[in-house]
Each structure stands twice: as C-alpha cells, then as structure tokens.
C-alpha cells in the first residue's frame, strides 16, 4: 500500500510539473491507500505493546490495579465496537449508491475496511480480556512446584 501511494505520488508530480497535466486519480488513490493502510495496520499489524497510549496513570499503579484497568478498558471497547457495528454495517452497505470521483470504486467497497477493522478490534480485545482474566497475565506468577532457584 505504501508502494502504491509512493508511485501514485510520483506520477502526480511528474504529470503536473513536467507535462502540465494534473491527474485527479492519483490523489484519490493515495487517499484510499492511506485509509486502508491505517485501518488494516491497526487491525492486523500493530501489536498491543506498539499502540500509542497515554499510560502515565497505568504505569504508576500496582499490577493488580493494572489488571483491573485492562479488564475495564477491554469490556468498554468490546461493548462500544459491538454496539456500533450494526450502524456501521448499515452505513457501509448504504454507500453502495455512491462511487469515487475518478476511479469509480463503490464506497461500500472502500469503506468495508472499517468493518474488518472493527471486528478485528473486538477479537483483539476479547483476547486481551481473556489474558487479563486468565493465568497468562504478565503480572500473575504461575504456580511453581519444586525448589526455587
């Protein structure tokens, strides 16, 4: 997606400044690629520890309180995304009536990445919630048997 954005940008610069023939489809393609890149990346590429957060409060409390904060955050985000999903689906499917100006791509296809993103976020936070509730939470020590080193 970054390569497509880069080449569309180069085509735009060359066509505008060397041939004096600006093209609109390159700008449209760049915006579409940016939208898909950000949402696809946030859904499937960025790990939880790479997300940008304001964690001054989170980092200053004990592991047990951090766990409660993670559980509350996960529950709220899961609920909000699930509540908004039907309305988002309705909007995306409604947008089939319009298409992009230059490339003539239907908006429901362009905006479908948001539905994929929302479902991925729900799945990610279900996983985070399960980890926070289970034995795999980083702050919880597994039960040790045998001599300790």
139-144 mean pLDDT:
48
Residue 6 CA to residue 123 CA, distance in Å, equals 32
Q: What is the mean pLDDT of the chain?
A: 87
- Which of the pair, 111 or 140, is modelled with greater confidence? 111
Residue 135's pLDDT is: 64
Residue 86's pLDDT is: 97
Residue 56's pLDDT is: 81
Residue 59's pLDDT is: 81
Burial call 101-116: b when 16+ CB within 10 Å, e when fewer: eeeeeebbebbbbbbe
Residue 146's pLDDT is: 45
SS (H, E, C) 20-49: CCCCHHHHHHHHHHHHHHHHHHHHHHCCHH
In this predicted structure, the answer to whether residue 125 has a pLDDT above a threshold of 70 is yes
In this predicted structure, the answer to whether residue 144 has a pLDDT above a threshold of 80 is no
Beta bridge partners of 106: 99
Interval 62-102: pLDDT, tens: 988 889 999 999 999 999 999 999 999 999 999 999 999 89
In this predicted structure, the answer to whether residue 57 has a pLDDT above a threshold of 90 is no
Residue 6's pLDDT is: 93
22-49 mean pLDDT:
90
């Amino acid at each position: 997606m970054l390569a497509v954005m880069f080449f569309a940008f180069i085509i735009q610069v060359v066509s505008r400044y060397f041939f004096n023939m600006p093209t609109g489809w390159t700008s449209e393609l760049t915006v579409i690629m940016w939208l898909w890149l950000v949402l696809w990346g946030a859904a499937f590429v960025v790990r939880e520890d790479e997300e940008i957060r304001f964690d001054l409060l989170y980092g200053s409390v004990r592991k047990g309180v951090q766990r409660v904060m993670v559980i509350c955050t996960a529950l709220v985000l899961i609920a909000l995304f699930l509540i908004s999903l039907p309305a988002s689906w309705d909007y995306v499917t409604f947008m089939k009536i319009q298409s992009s100006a230059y490339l003539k791509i239907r908006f429901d296809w362009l905006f479908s990445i948001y539905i994929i993103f929302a479902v991925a976020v729900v799945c990610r936070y279900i996983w985070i919630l399960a980890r926070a509730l289970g034995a795999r939470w980083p702050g919880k020590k597994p039960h040790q048997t045998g001599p300790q080193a």
